[in-house]
Amino acid sequence: MLCEQIVIIGTGPLACECVAAARATTPRVSCIAPEEQSMSRLPAICRRLGVEYRCETDRAALGRYFEAIRTPTLVVSAYNAYIFPEAVVENRNLLLVNFHNSLLPRHRGRNAPTWSIFAEDSETGVTWHLVQSSVDAGDVVMRTPLVVAPLVTAVELTRQTLDLGGQTFKTILPRLWSGDDQAVPQAVETRSRPHKSTDIPNGGVLDLTWEPHRISALLRSVDYGGLPVFPPLKVFLHTTEYRVGRYSIAADPAAPHRVTVDPPDVEILGDGLVIRLILAGTNEQEAR
Amino acid sequence: MTKLLEILTEIRPESSFSESHDFLDDGLLDSFDIVMLVSSLDKTFGISIEGIEIVPENFRNLEAIRALLRKHGVET
Protein backbone atom coordinates (compact mmCIF):
# COMPACT_ATOMS: atom_id res chain seq x y z
CA MET A 1 0.00 0.00 0.00
CA LEU A 2 1.44 3.34 -1.05
CA CYS A 3 0.83 5.70 1.89
CA GLU A 4 -0.46 9.23 1.41
CA GLN A 5 -0.17 10.54 4.96
CA ILE A 6 1.50 9.74 8.29
CA VAL A 7 -0.08 9.79 11.72
CA ILE A 8 2.23 9.59 14.74
CA ILE A 9 0.70 8.53 18.04
CA GLY A 10 2.79 8.93 21.20
CA THR A 11 4.00 11.53 23.70
CA GLY A 12 7.68 11.24 24.51
CA PRO A 13 11.07 11.85 22.89
CA LEU A 14 10.58 9.06 20.35
CA ALA A 15 7.36 10.65 19.09
CA CYS A 16 9.33 13.90 18.65
CA GLU A 17 11.97 12.12 16.55
CA CYS A 18 9.31 10.35 14.49
CA VAL A 19 7.41 13.59 13.83
CA ALA A 20 10.61 15.27 12.62
CA ALA A 21 11.53 12.34 10.36
CA ALA A 22 7.99 12.06 9.00
CA ARG A 23 7.80 15.81 8.33
CA ALA A 24 11.04 15.56 6.34
CA THR A 25 9.32 12.93 4.19
CA THR A 26 5.94 14.55 3.59
CA PRO A 27 3.96 17.63 4.67
CA ARG A 28 0.95 15.34 5.32
CA VAL A 29 1.78 14.50 8.93
CA SER A 30 -0.37 14.75 12.03
CA CYS A 31 0.30 13.81 15.61
CA ILE A 32 -1.92 12.51 18.40
CA ALA A 33 -0.96 12.39 22.08
CA PRO A 34 -3.07 9.68 23.73
CA GLU A 35 -2.39 11.02 27.23
CA GLU A 36 -1.82 14.38 28.91
CA GLN A 37 1.89 15.06 29.45
CA SER A 38 2.86 18.23 31.26
CA MET A 39 6.55 17.73 30.49
CA SER A 40 6.53 16.80 26.80
CA ARG A 41 8.42 18.54 23.99
CA LEU A 42 5.95 17.24 21.43
CA PRO A 43 3.46 20.15 21.22
CA ALA A 44 6.32 22.62 20.72
CA ILE A 45 8.04 20.46 18.09
CA CYS A 46 4.76 20.04 16.17
CA ARG A 47 4.16 23.79 16.34
CA ARG A 48 7.66 24.47 15.03
CA LEU A 49 7.31 21.98 12.15
CA GLY A 50 3.76 22.97 11.24
CA VAL A 51 2.40 19.55 12.15
CA GLU A 52 -1.20 19.26 13.35
CA TYR A 53 -1.18 18.15 17.00
CA ARG A 54 -3.98 17.15 19.31
CA CYS A 55 -4.30 15.38 22.62
CA GLU A 56 -7.03 12.75 22.65
CA THR A 57 -7.32 10.72 25.84
CA ASP A 58 -10.72 9.19 25.05
CA ARG A 59 -9.92 5.64 23.89
CA ALA A 60 -13.29 5.20 22.16
CA ALA A 61 -12.80 8.45 20.23
CA LEU A 62 -9.32 7.32 19.17
CA GLY A 63 -10.77 4.03 17.96
CA ARG A 64 -13.46 5.82 15.96
CA TYR A 65 -10.86 8.17 14.44
CA PHE A 66 -8.58 5.37 13.23
CA GLU A 67 -11.49 3.22 12.07
CA ALA A 68 -12.83 6.05 9.93
CA ILE A 69 -9.58 6.72 7.99
CA ARG A 70 -10.12 6.02 4.30
CA THR A 71 -6.83 7.42 2.94
CA PRO A 72 -3.83 5.05 2.82
CA THR A 73 -2.04 6.01 6.03
CA LEU A 74 1.13 5.03 7.80
CA VAL A 75 0.32 5.03 11.52
CA VAL A 76 3.38 5.09 13.77
CA SER A 77 2.89 4.07 17.37
CA ALA A 78 5.87 5.73 19.03
CA TYR A 79 6.17 4.45 22.63
CA ASN A 80 2.45 4.67 23.01
CA ALA A 81 0.31 2.91 25.62
CA TYR A 82 -2.89 2.99 23.54
CA ILE A 83 -3.69 -0.50 22.26
CA PHE A 84 -5.30 -0.51 18.82
CA PRO A 85 -8.64 -2.34 18.92
CA GLU A 86 -9.42 -5.13 16.47
CA ALA A 87 -11.53 -2.88 14.21
CA VAL A 88 -8.58 -0.49 13.78
CA VAL A 89 -6.12 -3.32 13.12
CA GLU A 90 -8.48 -4.60 10.44
CA ASN A 91 -8.77 -1.21 8.67
CA ARG A 92 -7.01 -2.02 5.39
CA ASN A 93 -6.24 1.66 4.77
CA LEU A 94 -3.78 1.65 7.66
CA LEU A 95 -0.22 0.42 7.79
CA LEU A 96 0.28 0.22 11.55
CA VAL A 97 3.79 -0.01 12.98
CA ASN A 98 4.68 -0.05 16.65
CA PHE A 99 7.91 0.56 18.53
CA HIS A 100 8.85 -1.76 21.36
CA ASN A 101 11.91 -1.31 23.51
CA SER A 102 13.21 -4.85 23.68
CA LEU A 103 14.26 -7.46 21.18
CA LEU A 104 10.88 -9.09 20.64
CA PRO A 105 9.60 -11.62 21.44
CA ARG A 106 11.56 -11.14 24.66
CA HIS A 107 9.94 -8.83 27.27
CA ARG A 108 6.64 -8.07 25.60
CA GLY A 109 4.32 -5.56 27.26
CA ARG A 110 5.03 -2.59 29.50
CA ASN A 111 8.33 -1.35 30.98
CA ALA A 112 10.51 -3.70 28.93
CA PRO A 113 13.82 -2.09 30.08
CA THR A 114 12.83 -2.91 33.66
CA TRP A 115 12.50 -6.58 32.78
CA SER A 116 15.74 -6.61 30.76
CA ILE A 117 17.66 -5.24 33.74
CA PHE A 118 15.91 -7.51 36.24
CA ALA A 119 16.69 -10.54 34.05
CA GLU A 120 20.33 -9.34 33.95
CA ASP A 121 20.31 -9.45 30.14
CA SER A 122 23.64 -8.44 28.63
CA GLU A 123 21.84 -7.31 25.50
CA THR A 124 18.48 -5.80 24.77
CA GLY A 125 17.39 -3.63 21.88
CA VAL A 126 14.49 -2.17 19.99
CA THR A 127 11.94 -3.66 17.63
CA TRP A 128 9.69 -2.00 15.07
CA HIS A 129 6.88 -4.36 14.18
CA LEU A 130 3.56 -4.44 12.39
CA VAL A 131 0.57 -4.24 14.70
CA GLN A 132 -1.60 -7.30 15.15
CA SER A 133 -4.39 -7.80 17.64
CA SER A 134 -2.10 -9.45 20.25
CA VAL A 135 0.18 -7.05 22.17
CA ASP A 136 3.74 -6.75 20.75
CA ALA A 137 3.19 -9.89 18.69
CA GLY A 138 3.22 -8.56 15.12
CA ASP A 139 5.70 -9.39 12.38
CA VAL A 140 9.06 -7.69 12.77
CA VAL A 141 10.09 -4.88 10.45
CA MET A 142 13.44 -4.23 12.16
CA ARG A 143 15.23 -5.38 15.30
CA THR A 144 18.35 -3.59 16.54
CA PRO A 145 20.41 -4.77 19.51
CA LEU A 146 21.77 -2.60 22.31
CA VAL A 147 24.29 -3.51 25.02
CA VAL A 148 22.94 -3.32 28.57
CA ALA A 149 25.66 -1.52 30.57
CA PRO A 150 26.51 -3.19 33.89
CA LEU A 151 25.07 -0.57 36.25
CA VAL A 152 22.48 1.03 33.99
CA THR A 153 19.16 2.09 35.54
CA ALA A 154 15.71 1.66 34.04
CA VAL A 155 15.36 5.34 33.16
CA GLU A 156 18.78 5.41 31.49
CA LEU A 157 18.09 2.25 29.48
CA THR A 158 14.65 3.52 28.49
CA ARG A 159 16.21 6.71 27.21
CA GLN A 160 18.85 4.75 25.27
CA THR A 161 16.20 2.58 23.64
CA LEU A 162 14.10 5.62 22.70
CA ASP A 163 17.15 7.27 21.11
CA LEU A 164 17.86 4.05 19.19
CA GLY A 165 14.20 3.88 18.20
CA GLY A 166 14.45 7.35 16.67
CA GLN A 167 17.56 6.41 14.71
CA THR A 168 16.11 3.15 13.41
CA PHE A 169 12.82 4.79 12.46
CA LYS A 170 14.72 6.97 10.01
CA THR A 171 16.02 3.77 8.41
CA ILE A 172 12.65 2.06 8.00
CA LEU A 173 10.56 5.12 7.14
CA PRO A 174 11.41 5.30 3.39
CA ARG A 175 10.51 1.61 3.03
CA LEU A 176 7.21 1.94 4.86
CA TRP A 177 6.29 5.18 3.12
CA SER A 178 6.81 3.55 -0.27
CA GLY A 179 4.50 0.72 0.73
CA ASP A 180 7.09 -1.95 1.48
CA ASP A 181 5.66 -3.67 4.54
CA GLN A 182 7.81 -6.79 4.41
CA ALA A 183 8.23 -8.21 7.89
CA VAL A 184 9.35 -11.40 9.55
CA PRO A 185 7.14 -13.37 11.96
CA GLN A 186 8.27 -13.50 15.57
CA ALA A 187 9.47 -16.77 17.06
CA VAL A 188 6.14 -18.11 18.31
CA GLU A 189 7.59 -20.72 20.66
CA THR A 190 9.34 -18.17 22.88
CA ARG A 191 6.40 -15.85 23.32
CA SER A 192 5.47 -15.22 26.91
CA ARG A 193 2.63 -13.36 28.61
CA PRO A 194 3.14 -9.62 28.10
CA HIS A 195 4.06 -7.64 31.22
CA LYS A 196 1.35 -5.37 32.53
CA SER A 197 2.03 -1.88 33.90
CA THR A 198 1.08 -3.22 37.34
CA ASP A 199 3.68 -6.01 37.25
CA ILE A 200 6.68 -5.22 39.47
CA PRO A 201 9.87 -7.31 39.57
CA ASN A 202 9.73 -9.77 42.50
CA GLY A 203 6.40 -8.25 43.53
CA GLY A 204 8.23 -5.09 44.62
CA VAL A 205 10.02 -6.83 47.51
CA LEU A 206 13.80 -6.66 47.98
CA ASP A 207 15.21 -9.79 49.62
CA LEU A 208 18.46 -9.02 51.45
CA THR A 209 19.46 -12.71 51.36
CA TRP A 210 19.87 -12.51 47.58
CA GLU A 211 23.27 -12.37 45.93
CA PRO A 212 24.47 -8.75 45.51
CA HIS A 213 24.25 -8.88 41.71
CA ARG A 214 20.54 -9.77 41.94
CA ILE A 215 19.91 -7.03 44.49
CA SER A 216 21.67 -4.58 42.20
CA ALA A 217 19.54 -5.71 39.26
CA LEU A 218 16.29 -5.31 41.18
CA LEU A 219 17.19 -1.84 42.49
CA ARG A 220 18.18 -0.58 39.06
CA SER A 221 15.23 -2.24 37.30
CA VAL A 222 12.68 -0.09 39.13
CA ASP A 223 14.76 3.10 39.15
CA TYR A 224 12.99 5.65 36.97
CA GLY A 225 14.73 8.54 38.68
CA GLY A 226 11.71 10.07 40.36
CA LEU A 227 9.19 9.37 37.59
CA PRO A 228 6.23 7.61 39.23
CA VAL A 229 6.48 4.28 37.37
CA PHE A 230 6.74 1.94 40.37
CA PRO A 231 6.16 2.33 44.12
CA PRO A 232 9.30 2.13 46.32
CA LEU A 233 10.63 -1.37 46.91
CA LYS A 234 9.75 -2.98 50.24
CA VAL A 235 12.23 -4.66 52.58
CA PHE A 236 11.17 -6.89 55.47
CA LEU A 237 13.48 -7.06 58.49
CA HIS A 238 12.06 -9.62 60.91
CA THR A 239 8.43 -8.50 61.07
CA THR A 240 9.01 -4.84 60.21
CA GLU A 241 8.34 -3.51 56.73
CA TYR A 242 10.54 -0.73 55.35
CA ARG A 243 10.69 1.08 52.05
CA VAL A 244 13.91 1.55 50.10
CA GLY A 245 14.65 5.27 50.05
CA ARG A 246 17.89 6.27 48.41
CA TYR A 247 20.45 3.78 47.17
CA SER A 248 23.84 3.77 45.53
CA ILE A 249 25.76 1.08 43.69
CA ALA A 250 29.47 1.26 42.92
CA ALA A 251 31.82 -1.25 41.35
CA ASP A 252 34.58 -2.55 43.61
CA PRO A 253 36.23 -5.76 42.39
CA ALA A 254 37.85 -6.25 45.82
CA ALA A 255 34.60 -6.03 47.83
CA PRO A 256 34.32 -9.03 50.18
CA HIS A 257 30.91 -10.71 50.62
CA ARG A 258 29.25 -8.99 53.57
CA VAL A 259 25.83 -7.61 54.51
CA THR A 260 25.52 -5.03 57.27
CA VAL A 261 22.04 -4.07 58.38
CA ASP A 262 21.74 -1.18 60.82
CA PRO A 263 18.44 0.56 59.99
CA PRO A 264 18.08 2.90 58.30
CA ASP A 265 21.44 1.96 56.73
CA VAL A 266 22.13 -1.23 54.83
CA GLU A 267 25.41 -2.09 53.14
CA ILE A 268 25.73 -5.07 50.82
CA LEU A 269 29.14 -6.05 49.50
CA GLY A 270 30.09 -8.76 47.04
CA ASP A 271 30.03 -9.74 43.36
CA GLY A 272 32.34 -6.78 42.76
CA LEU A 273 29.73 -4.34 44.05
CA VAL A 274 29.21 -1.99 46.97
CA ILE A 275 25.49 -1.37 47.45
CA ARG A 276 24.24 1.11 50.03
CA LEU A 277 20.57 1.53 50.90
CA ILE A 278 18.80 3.98 53.12
CA LEU A 279 15.56 2.52 54.41
CA ALA A 280 12.53 4.58 55.22
CA GLY A 281 9.58 3.61 57.40
CA THR A 282 6.32 2.53 55.83
CA ASN A 283 3.66 5.14 55.28
CA GLU A 284 1.74 3.72 58.26
CA GLN A 285 4.76 4.00 60.56
CA GLU A 286 5.40 7.58 59.45
CA ALA A 287 1.76 8.53 60.07
CA ARG A 288 1.98 7.44 63.72
CA MET B 1 29.00 29.42 31.34
CA THR B 2 27.48 28.59 34.74
CA LYS B 3 27.55 25.04 36.06
CA LEU B 4 23.77 24.81 35.62
CA LEU B 5 23.97 25.83 31.97
CA GLU B 6 26.80 23.36 31.46
CA ILE B 7 24.66 20.53 32.84
CA LEU B 8 21.66 21.51 30.71
CA THR B 9 23.81 21.75 27.59
CA GLU B 10 25.25 18.28 28.26
CA ILE B 11 21.70 16.88 28.30
CA ARG B 12 20.47 18.77 25.20
CA PRO B 13 23.49 20.15 23.31
CA GLU B 14 21.31 21.52 20.50
CA SER B 15 19.17 23.74 22.77
CA SER B 16 19.74 27.40 23.68
CA PHE B 17 18.69 27.48 27.32
CA SER B 18 19.85 31.01 28.04
CA GLU B 19 17.47 32.37 25.37
CA SER B 20 14.34 30.58 26.59
CA HIS B 21 11.89 31.65 29.30
CA ASP B 22 9.97 28.37 29.14
CA PHE B 23 11.99 25.24 28.46
CA LEU B 24 8.87 23.06 28.31
CA ASP B 25 6.75 25.29 26.08
CA ASP B 26 9.71 25.88 23.79
CA GLY B 27 10.32 22.14 23.51
CA LEU B 28 13.82 22.19 24.99
CA LEU B 29 13.26 19.60 27.74
CA ASP B 30 10.94 16.65 28.31
CA SER B 31 10.30 14.39 31.29
CA PHE B 32 13.27 12.11 30.55
CA ASP B 33 15.58 15.11 30.21
CA ILE B 34 14.34 16.42 33.55
CA VAL B 35 15.05 13.10 35.25
CA MET B 36 18.59 13.20 33.83
CA LEU B 37 18.90 16.81 34.98
CA VAL B 38 17.78 15.92 38.51
CA SER B 39 20.31 13.09 38.63
CA SER B 40 23.09 15.44 37.47
CA LEU B 41 22.08 18.18 39.91
CA ASP B 42 22.02 15.64 42.78
CA LYS B 43 25.50 14.38 41.90
CA THR B 44 27.05 17.75 41.11
CA PHE B 45 25.76 19.63 44.17
CA GLY B 46 25.49 16.71 46.63
CA ILE B 47 21.76 17.27 47.15
CA SER B 48 18.70 15.05 47.02
CA ILE B 49 15.83 16.40 44.90
CA GLU B 50 12.72 14.36 45.72
CA GLY B 51 10.23 12.87 43.26
CA ILE B 52 7.48 15.25 44.41
CA GLU B 53 9.69 18.16 43.34
CA ILE B 54 9.81 16.88 39.75
CA VAL B 55 7.00 19.11 38.49
CA PRO B 56 6.99 21.49 35.49
CA GLU B 57 7.06 24.62 37.68
CA ASN B 58 10.51 23.73 39.03
CA PHE B 59 12.09 23.27 35.60
CA ARG B 60 10.43 25.89 33.41
CA ASN B 61 13.49 28.13 33.08
CA LEU B 62 16.89 28.89 34.58
CA GLU B 63 15.40 30.99 37.39
CA ALA B 64 12.96 28.23 38.41
CA ILE B 65 15.78 25.68 38.57
CA ARG B 66 17.96 28.12 40.54
CA ALA B 67 15.07 28.64 42.98
CA LEU B 68 14.78 24.87 43.43
CA LEU B 69 18.52 24.63 44.04
CA ARG B 70 18.33 27.46 46.57
CA LYS B 71 15.73 25.42 48.52
CA HIS B 72 18.42 22.75 48.77
CA GLY B 73 21.00 25.28 49.92
CA VAL B 74 22.78 25.64 46.58
CA GLU B 75 23.58 29.04 45.05
CA THR B 76 24.58 28.96 41.38
Q: What's the pLDDT tens digit per position in B23-43?
A: 988 889 988 899 889 989 998
A43 in contact with chain B, both atoms CB, cutoff 8 A: yes
pLDDT at A254: 93
Pairing of strands A73-78, A5-10: parallel
Enumerate the residues of chain A whose CB falls inside 8 A of the CB of residue B56.
38-39
pLDDT digits (tens, 9 = 90+) for A184-210: 998 764 557 889 989 999 999 999 999
Q: Tell me which residue in A16, A38, A225 faces B39 most closely, judged by beta carbons.
A: A225
Enumerate the residues of chain B whose CB falls inside 8 A of the CB of residue A38.
24, 55-56
Q: Is the peptide bond before A105 cis (omega within 30 degrees of 0)?
A: yes
Does residue B6 register a pLDDT over 60?
A: yes
- Are B72 and B49 in contact by the 8 Å Cβ rule? The answer is yes
Whole-structure pTM value: 0.90
Q: What is the mean pLDDT of chain B?
A: 90
- Determine whether the interchain pair B35/A155 forms a contact, defined as Cβ–Cβ distance below 8 Å: yes
B11 in contact with chain A, both atoms CB, cutoff 8 A: no
Does residue A47 register a pLDDT over 70?
A: yes
Percent of chain A with pLDDT over 70: 96
Does residue A288 register a pLDDT over 60?
A: no
pLDDT at A191: 55
At residue A45 the predicted structure's pLDDT band, cuts being 50, 70 and 90, is very high
Helix (H) or strand (E) run with residue A220 in it: helix A212-221
pLDDT at A37: 85
Query: Residue B70 contacts by C-beta under 8 Å, 6 or more apart in sequence?
Result: none
pLDDT digits (tens, 9 = 90+) for A206-229: 999 999 999 999 999 999 988 889
Percent of chain A with pLDDT over 90: 81
- Determine whether the interchain pair B32/A16 forms a contact, defined as Cβ–Cβ distance below 8 Å: no
Does residue A251 register a pLDDT over 50?
A: yes
Query: Residue A88 contacts by C-beta under 8 Å, 6 or more apart in sequence?
Result: A63, A66, A67, A94, A96
Report, as an integer, the average pLDDT of A175-192: 80
Give the whole-angstrom CA distance, residue A216 versus residue A44.
38
Q: What is the mean pLDDT of chain A?
A: 92
pLDDT at B32: 87
B48 in contact with chain A, both atoms CB, cutoff 8 A: yes
Closest CA to A271 of A207, A210, A220: A210
Q: Tell me which residue in B27, B39, B55 faces A41 most closely, judged by beta carbons.
A: B27
Chain B, nearest residue to A231 by Cα: B51
Chain A, nearest residue to B49 by Cα: A226
B51/A82: higher pLDDT: A82
- Residue from B10, B11, B31 to probe the interface with A (highest A Cβ count within 10 Å): B31
pLDDT at A285: 53
- Determine whether the interchain pair B56/A38 forms a contact, defined as Cβ–Cβ distance below 8 Å: yes
C-alpha dihedral (A72, A78, A84, A89), degrees to nearest 10 = 30
Give the whole-angstrom CA distance, residue A193 versus residue A197.
13
Report, as an integer, the average pLDDT of A98-118: 95
pLDDT at A5: 97
Does residue A283 register a pLDDT over 60?
A: no
Enumerate the residues of chain A whose CB falls inside 8 A of the CB of residue B55.
38
- Determine whether the interchain pair A39/B30 forms a contact, defined as Cβ–Cβ distance below 8 Å: yes
pLDDT at A287: 42
pLDDT digits (tens, 9 = 90+) for A124-156: 999 999 998 887 889 999 999 999 999 999 999
B76/A79: higher pLDDT: A79
